[in-house]
Every structure is written in structure tokens, then in C-alpha cells.
Amino acid sequence: MTTPAVLVQLFEPWSSLYADSRLVATLVVFGHIASLMVAGGLAITFDRGTLRAVRATDLRSRHLAELAGAHRMVIAGLAMSAVTGSLLFASDVETYFVSWIYWTKMSLIVVLLANGWNMSRVEGTLRLAPSDAEPGWRRMRTSAVVSLVLWFAIALAGVALVNAV
């Protein structure tokens, strides 16, 4: 696969600015890492809380109440990481466009988003029908485990991507 010349040309001004300014590069990478720390840190914390709530039924209602607010922060962090990730991609489109590691990371992010959407749907069901909780909590457990695995796989892919460039 070759990089489309139109993308290289389109992003050339940004690529030059990014390459020529340590401040710009530092701020973009910081924004990317910081947003992932917020989103991933909260997600991992609440995934752990979900796993605890599966075993301790007395924690469930409180945990569900806290999850809604946490998901808004995770989404905000992911949105910021999407913006900064796009800036990183545009800074070296020739390298990233042909990288299987980059596309693997993007695929993992799509799976993470789908898992988060599924988890949100299950949460809503649990709030509306707490009497039918056990199957829902088993699904929440599965989603939490998948989320944990995906966050660490995405981090690994990000590190591999930096070291492969």
C-alpha cells in the first residue's frame, strides 16, 4: 500500500510546522498522552469497580450511578485523543498510512468504542430492570474484562508504533 500523494500534499504545512517546532510537537504529544491518561485511567478504575460490583451486590446501585458520569469523562478524553492522534497522523502521513501497527491500533480503538457502547446499553438495562440483574452483571463483567484488555493492547500498540517509526 502506498500513501496517496493528495494526503501528503494536504498535510504538508502541518507536517512542516510539527517537524520544525519542538513546542508544537511537545504540546501535541502531551495532549495525546494526557487525554489517554484521563480516559484510560478512568476506564480502568471503573472497570475494576465493575468487577468488584459483580461480586458485591451491595455496591451495584452506587456503581451504576457513578458510571454515567465516568463515561462522559472517558468519552471527552477519547475525543481529545482522537484530535491529537489525528494531528500526529497528519505530522507523518507517509509513515503512519502504511503502518500495520497504526491500523491495528485504530482497529483496537474501534473495538473499544463498540465495547463501551455495549457496556452503556447494559448499564441502562440494569438501571431500568434491577430485578433481572444477574445476566446483565455477567455481561458487564465481560465488557469490563474486554475493556481492560483493550486499553492495555492499545497502549502496547502505541508504544510499538513510536518504536517502529
pLDDT digits (tens, 9 = 90+) for 56-99: 888 888 899 899 889 889 999 999 999 999 999 999 999 999 99
**131 — pLDDT class (breaks 50, 70, 90):** low
The CA R_g of the chain, rounded to the nearest whole Å, is 19
What is the Cα–Cα distance from 41 to 47, expressed in whole angstroms? 10
Reply yes or no on whether the pLDDT at 133 is more than 90.
no
What is the Cα–Cα distance from 69 to 86, expressed in whole angstroms? 26
Long-range contacts formed by 157-165: CB under 8 A, 24+ apart: 157/101, 157/104, 157/105, 157/108, 158/36, 158/105, 160/101, 161/96, 161/99, 161/101, 161/102, 161/105, 164/99, 164/101, 165/92, 165/95, 165/99
Picking from 113, 126, 148, the residue whose alpha carbon sits closest to that of residue 59 is 126
Reply yes or no on whether the pLDDT at 132 is more than 70.
no
Reply yes or no on whether the pLDDT at 164 is more than 90.
no
All three cell numbers of 156: 502496547
What is the Cα–Cα distance from 97 to 89, expressed in whole angstroms? 8
Q: For residues 26 and 126, which has the higher predicted lDDT (pLDDT)? A: 26
pLDDT averaged over every residue in the chain? 93
Q: 5-164 is classed in which CATH architecture?
A: Up-down Bundle (1.20)
Reply yes or no on whether the pLDDT at 15 is more than 70.
yes
Distance of CA 118 to the CA centre of its chain: 15
Give me the mean pLDDT over the 112-118 stretch. Answer: 95
Reply yes or no on whether the pLDDT at 104 is more than 90.
yes
Element (H, E) at 18: helix 5-20
pTM beyond 0.95: the answer is: no
